[in-house]
Amino acid sequence: MKKGQDTGRPPLQAAIIDLDGTLVDTLGDFHAALNEMLAGLELPTVAAPVVAGFIGKGSEHLIREVLAHVGAPPDRYQPAWDAYQSCYRRLNGLQSALYPGVREGVAQLRAAGLSLACLTNKPTEFARALLEAKGLGDDFEVVFGGDAFARKKPDPLPLLETCAALGVPPAATLMLGDSSNDAAAARAAGCPVVLVTYGYNHGEPVRGVDADGYLDSLADAQALLARLFPPRGRAS
């Protein structure tokens, strides 16, 4: 793009950031809680790569997919749900870790004056507890989980409601996630979207997903956003 050309994008005022696969590698937590749930129901356990392919669409989807994978009948869902909630509440954060560059990236976004929200499909209770455990609890103005609204990502409703809570229009609110769910929700809501390349994305290559940009590390967020969203009249 030539110097001085306007990108047509409004300046960013906020960022909505996904949790699992974007800020925190939570596969270990999911794997441990699910296998404890399965063992308690006298069902076969599953390997971590199997679990990774099911992350991102909420706890209900995760449990149903795991039960189907081990051949459990549908009537095992409710006891599985109850057991999983108990297991995950106790294990939340114990076998997970921030991805490299997350602290730096979040600090860059805050230093840029952006209002920050965390929006995830995991239950709000678990999301808030995990952010606190990883030292990010004070970095977000609002935190919403998959139980906060009538529908989950990839529906645009959670993004639109989060933008409303921040008081920022969708076009000025970046969605930062790791999956096609995040991208689809952002496109439908009218938010620009950047995806990290190290997350889960249901086991598929994330660079095949329609997005405005990709990040190998959140520590590179400032540089990428400067290219994607330059001040009006200073694009290059």
| Residue 234, beta-bridge partner list | none
Q: Backbone phi, then psi, for 105, in 5-degree steps?
A: -65, -45
Catalytic hit among 6, 18, 29, 138: 18
d(CA 189, CA 158): 9
Q: Is-catalytic flag, 18?
A: yes
CA distance 53 to 201: 8
Name which of 125, 144, 141, 217 is nearest 178 in CA terms: 217
Which residue's structure tokens are 């496109």? 187
Strand bridging mode 24-25 / 97-98 = antiparallel
d(CA 60, CA 17): 21
Take residue 192 and report the two structure tokens written for it. Answer: 């620009």
Long-range contacts for 107-110 (Cβ within 8 Å, ≥24 apart)? Answer: 108/219, 108/221, 108/222, 109/15, 109/221, 109/222, 110/139
Contact partners, residue 51, CB within 8 Å, separation at least 6: 27, 30, 31, 34, 62, 66
Residues annotated catalytic, as ranges? 18
